[in-house]
Amino acid sequence: MMYLARNQQQLGNVIRRHRQKCGYTQAALAELAGVRQGTISMIESGSTDARIDTLFTVLAALNLEFQVAQRTQIELEAIIDDEILD
Amino acid sequence: MMYLARNQQQLGNVIRRHRQKCGYTQAALAELAGVRQGTISMIESGSTDARIDTLFTVLAALNLEFQVAQRTQIELEAIIDDEILD
DNA sequence: TATGTTTATACTATATAGCGTATATTGCAA
DNA sequence: TTGCAATATACGCTATATAGTATAAACATA
């Protein structure tokens, strides 16, 4: 399980998909993370330049985390938009 | 090469170390990323709740990227603060 | 120590994230 | 289709990130 997140759009997609996989509504995730449902909506749609702290708490609520790595090879990126491995 | 970034402090450490490894000054990295030197300083010290977009561009300038993954095991975290592998 | 470089900090201004709250819109299921 | 749940959006507000610019503080090195 390893997702790429090079922009807000990709990050939003990752969060949305994982939230759904966990069976959470936006409101449920929002409560877990201590933010508003509307904030989750904006983040998932990639339509907000979220603050890193907000993302840390949202990811933590989903039992996810950021890792920083060397930018991966073109081939990998080309295959799937924002998902490397599942 | 894989760094953990669960909070601003860890992320700042990762960026600072990698910038230095690349031989860049804060001013040089700032220019590459299109931000101010002062902004790099704040981010590296973990003393600002940076916007995700700023971080995307800074990481890209260092040829780094965010990956999102399941939170790793306690053992790994316990060994080193914010660095998993190098 | 003295000098130049690098990093930290300060000031004002602007843009916008996130809050609380509310509602519109969409989507799904009966 | 109807009704409920889920998501998207709106408004006013406060807080703060970042810009531009400048300088102070810290760090090297000759």
Give the tens place of pLDDT for each residue, B70-84.
997 654 444 344 443
Q: For the residues B39-52, what does the mean pLDDT come to?
A: 98
**Tokens 């936006």 belong to residue:** A26
Q: Which amino acid is at A47?
A: S
Assess whether pLDDT exceeds 70 at residue A80. no
Write out the residues of chain B at the interface with chain A, using a CB-CB cutoff of 8 A.
Answer: 1-8, 11, 14, 18, 49-53, 55-56, 59-60, 63-72, 84
Assess whether pLDDT exceeds 60 at residue B43. yes
Q: What is the pLDDT of residue B79?
A: 37
Residue A69 pairs in a beta bridge with: B2, B65
Question: Which chain B residues in 47-66 sit with Cβ < 7 A of strand D?
Answer: 48-51, 54-55
What is the β-pairing status of strands A2-5 and A64-70? unpaired
Across B11-21, b (16+ Cβ under 10 Å) vs e yields bbbbbbebbee
Closest approach of A5 to chain B, Cα-based (Å): 5
In whole angstroms, what separates CA B83 from the centre of its chain?
11
User: Closest Cα partner for A58 from A86, A34, A25?
Assistant: A34
Q: How confident is the model at residue A73 (pLDDT cuts 50, 70, 90)?
A: low
Indicate if the alpha-carbon torsion angle B78, B80, B82, B86 is positive or negative: negative
Q: For the residues B2-7, what does the mean pLDDT come to?
A: 95
Q: What is the pLDDT of residue A1?
A: 77
Indicate if the alpha-carbon torsion angle A12, A58, B49, B63 is positive or negative: negative
Q: What is the pLDDT of residue B86?
A: 31
CA torsion angle for B85, A86, A39, A50 (degrees, to 10)?
A: 40
Compute CA distances A68 → A30, A39, A78, B4, B67, whole Å: 25, 24, 20, 6, 6
pTM: 0.90
Greater pLDDT, A74 or B84: A74
- Which of A42, A51, A67 to probe the B interface (max B CBs under 10 A)? A67
Q: What is the pLDDT of residue A72?
A: 78
Q: For the residues B47-65, what does the mean pLDDT come to?
A: 98
DSSP state of B5: E
Assess whether pLDDT exceeds 70 at residue B54. yes
For strand C, the positions having any atom within 7 A of a protein Cβ are: 5-11, 16-22
Give the residue ranges of DSSP H helices in chain A: 8-21, 26-33, 37-45, 52-61, 74-79
As a whole number, the mean pLDDT across chain B is 88
pLDDT tens digit sequence for A19-65:
999 999 999 999 999 999 999 999 999 999 999 999 999 999 999 99
Q: What is the pLDDT of residue B81?
A: 43
Coil, strand or helix: which one is B59?
helix
Q: What is the pLDDT of residue B6?
A: 97
